[in-house]
Amino acid sequence: MRRLLFMLAALLWWGGAEAQDVILLRNADEVKAEVREITDSHILYTLWGGSDKVLSLPRAEVFSVTYQNGEKELFVGDDSGATGPVTAADYPWPRVTKSYRPGDLFDEDGIRGIVISTTDNGRHGLILSLEQAPKSLRWSADSSWATDLLLGLSDREDGWNNRRRLIERLAEGKLTWEDFPAFEWCESLGPGWYLPAVDELRGLWQLCGEAEGFEKFGNKESYRFSRRISELSESYGGDKLSVWTDSRFWWSSTERKDNVAQIVDFGMPLQTRLVNVYAYRSDRNHVRTKTWQQFVEAGWEKTGKWPVRAVHKF
């Protein structure tokens, strides 16, 4: 009996040891704690496994709090010295009242756009903005020292994570949204809109008849698919697209290296084989590539100008 009680006590202790809040500071230090209260200026907490003495941290020194249940709260925009429309709330999921399929118009809770991919039987997915930036934009400003700065925007599947990383860098106070025109334009659309990661736009091919599966894919098919996307956008009151090659490329939020970010081509499947395709390199030379995928993966200088559209989750 005594042994059983000891085992139960050990299990309770072990379960409690896992149930802790983690405060991540801006300097990357972690504090294992139990958060007691969050005020307008401070976070009140006790050290996990320590005394019951209540300590406090200025919100401006905190990047995030991960709670016992796995929920995470960001504090990036709290008096950090960054400029521009920095937001730090959890993702602003719109209210969804029905299921969607790729190609549908999403128009709920103030969010409007083309559904390009879905999960959970159409209850969640990704929306493409009906608006396109009025002109081609740079990933980073030509005159900015940020052009040759590796920011750590490495996520290929979720541009919102790249946005969070960028905001973290903005919070250091050395950079502003104006240093990143493509990102700044996406921010101007409102909460939840962001520059997509390089793999998030694969859903565009699904809108055009599973083009990604084709072994051969010429200009004729490319123009047809470009027109399909343009017609969808226009039918919902959005901006039209040009079918010319340079307008098929859009900036992604994914960095390739310090002065190169990745572009997305929604008109060409990545495995398409082309002859004499040349990718631009940062040393202003061109390197021959065997496939379209190699060309796209090579990326483009951040100071290059490409069209921009934003995406929004639902």
Instruction: Please give the pLDDT value at position 227.
Output: 79
Q: What is the structure's pLDDT at 256? A: 83
Which pLDDT does position 312 carry in this prediction?
A: 97
Whole-number pLDDT of residue 205: 67
Domain boundaries, the chain: 2-74, 93-314
User: Quick check: 162 pLDDT over 90?
Assistant: yes
Mean pLDDT to the nearest integer, 166-171:
87
Percent of the chain with pLDDT over 90: 27
User: Looking at residues 186-196, what average pLDDT do you find?
Assistant: 94
Return the pLDDT at 301: 81
pLDDT at 303: 86
pLDDT of res. 291: 52
Pick 253 or 48 by higher pLDDT: 253
pLDDT score recorded for residue 142: 73
pLDDT band, residue 141 (cuts 50/70/90)? confident
Question: Which of the two residues, 226 and 146, has the higher pLDDT score?
Answer: 226
**pLDDT for the residue 113:** 97
Q: pLDDT tens digit string along 206-261?
A: 666 544 444 444 556 667 777 788 889 999 999 987 655 445 678 999 998 778 88
The whole-chain average pLDDT of the chain stands at: 75
Is the model more confident about 179 or about 15? 179
Q: What is the pLDDT of residue 264?
A: 75
pLDDT at 286 over 70: no
Which tokens in the block code for residue 62? 């905190």
Q: What is the pLDDT of residues 102-136, one digit of tens each?
A: 999 999 999 999 999 898 899 999 999 999 999 99
Of 78 and 21, which is predicted with more confidence?
21
Confidence check: pLDDT of 94 > 80: yes
| pLDDT score of 298 more than 90 | no
* 3-class DSSP string for the chain: CHHHHHHHHHHHHHHHHHCCEEEEECCCCEEEEEEEEECCCEEEEEECCCCCCCEEEEHHHEEEEECCCCCEEECCCCCCCCCCCCCCCCCCCCCCCCCCCCCCEEEECCEEEEEEEEEHHHCEEEEEECCCCCCCEECCCCCCHHHHCCCCCCCCCCHHHHHHHHHHHHCCCCCCHHHCHHHHHHHHCCCCCECCCCCHHHHHHHHCCCHHHCCCCCHHHHHHHHHHHHHHHHHCCCCCCCCCHHHCEEEEEEEEECCEEEEEECCCCCCCEEEEEEEECCCCCEEEEEEHHHHHHHCEECCCEECCCCEEEC
Segment 173-199 mean pLDDT: 92
- How does pLDDT run across 263-272, given as a tens digit for each residue? 876 655 444 4
How high is the pLDDT of residue 89? 44
The CATH number of domain 2-74, selected from 3.40.830.10, 3.30.70.3270, 3.40.50.1820, 2.30.30.100: 2.30.30.100
What is the average pLDDT across 85-90? 42
Averaged pLDDT, 130-144: 86
